[in-house]
Amino acid sequence: MTPQGHLRLMSDPGAPSLPAALNDRLAAAFAVGAGHGLLQLGASEVGSVLPPALAWWREFAARYVTALCATPEGEKIAIPAPDESALDAMIADIPPMTGTEYLTPAVLVAIWEELDSALRAELASSKLALRDFLKSCHPAWNMVGRVHFNLAENRKDPEQAPNLICVNGQFQKANC
C-alpha cells in the first residue's frame, strides 16, 4: 500500500516465495491494475495457498465476487462496498504488511471500485454472461448463491407422497 492509497504487488523477502505459475498470474494481473490483480486473487485463486497478506486481499476480493454471485442473470451489476463498520473490522484484522498505516475505509472503498471496474472490463472482453465468466475463473463459483431444494416424500403412502410441501421447515400436505 502506497502513501497515496494505491495497492501494489511487491515481493516480501521474509515470506516464502510463491510457485512460479501463481507468481506469474498475479504479476500479470497486477501489472494491468490493482483491480485486475484483486479480481485474479478473489475469483481465480480461491484454492491457492498464499502468504497472509495476499490471503487477506483475496478474502477482500472474494467478498466482492461472492456478492456478484447473487446478481440475477441479465440484471445490472451493482455491488455496493461494505459499510464503514465492516471496513473498520477488516482493517483491524489485517496481517502485517507494508503500508497498512495508509489503509482507511475510504481507501478500501476506492480499491473496491477498482475491483468493480476490473470486473466490468474483463466481463466485457470475455463476452460471457456473468455466471459463465465466474465459472471460467474457478469452478467453485458455479454453486455459490444457488438454492437447492430436496423433496422429501413418503414412498409408502402414495396418497401423501406427491402432495407434501415444506413450509417454514415443516412438511405439510399441499392443497392441490
Count: domains in the chain:
2
Instruction: Specify if 28 maps to a domain.
Output: yes
- Using CA atoms in the order 19, 25, 26, 31, what is the torsion angle rounded to 10 degrees? 140
Instruction: Specify if 5 maps to a domain.
Output: no
Instruction: Specify if 50 maps to a domain.
Output: yes
Task: Answer whether 73's CB lies under 8 Å from 131's CB.
Answer: yes
Q: Where are the alpha helices (DSSP H) in the chain?
A: 20-32, 34-39, 52-68, 84-92, 105-126, 130-137
pLDDT score recorded for residue 110 = 96
Domain co-membership, 112 together with 174: no
Domain of 161 in residue numbering reads as: 147-176
Instruction: Specify if 7 maps to a domain.
Output: no
Instruction: Specify if 90 maps to a domain.
Output: yes
pLDDT in tens, 105-133: 999 999 999 999 999 999 999 999 888 89
Domain co-membership, 169 together with 87: no
Nearest to 39 by CA among 18, 58, 20, 23: 58
Spatial separation of the C-alpha atoms in residues 130 and 11, rounded to whole Å: 32
Domain co-membership, 84 together with 107: yes
pLDDT score recorded for residue 128 = 92
Domain co-membership, 61 together with 133: yes
Domain co-membership, 98 together with 170: no
Q: Which three three-digit cell numbers place residue 52?
A: 497472509
Domain co-membership, 26 together with 90: yes
Counting DSSP H helices and E strands in the chain, the numbers are 6, 2
Task: Answer whether 154's CB lies under 8 Å from 164's CB.
Answer: yes
Q: Which residues of 128-159 are buried (b: 16+ CB within 10 A; e: fewer)?
A: eebbebbeebbeebeeeeeeeeeeeeeeeeee
The share of the chain scoring above pLDDT 70, in percent, equals: 80
Q: Is the pLDDT of residue 26 over 70?
A: yes
Domain co-membership, 61 together with 98: yes
pLDDT in tens, 47-64: 899 999 999 999 999 999
Instruction: Specify if 97 maps to a domain.
Output: yes
Instruction: Specify if 67 maps to a domain.
Output: yes
- How many C-beta neighbours within 10 Å does residue 9 have? 16
Domain co-membership, 70 together with 90: yes
Spatial separation of the C-alpha atoms in residues 119 and 68, rounded to whole Å: 10
* pLDDT band with cut points at 50, 70 and 90 for residue 158: low
Domain co-membership, 39 together with 110: yes
pLDDT score recorded for residue 12 = 76
- How many C-beta neighbours within 10 Å does residue 94 have? 15
Domain co-membership, 74 together with 157: no
Instruction: Specify if 79 maps to a domain.
Output: yes
Mean pLDDT value across the chain: 85
pLDDT score recorded for residue 89 = 95
Domain co-membership, 151 together with 135: no
Is residue 156 left, alpha or beta, with left meaning phi > 0 and alpha meaning psi from -120 to 50?
alpha
Domain co-membership, 151 together with 114: no
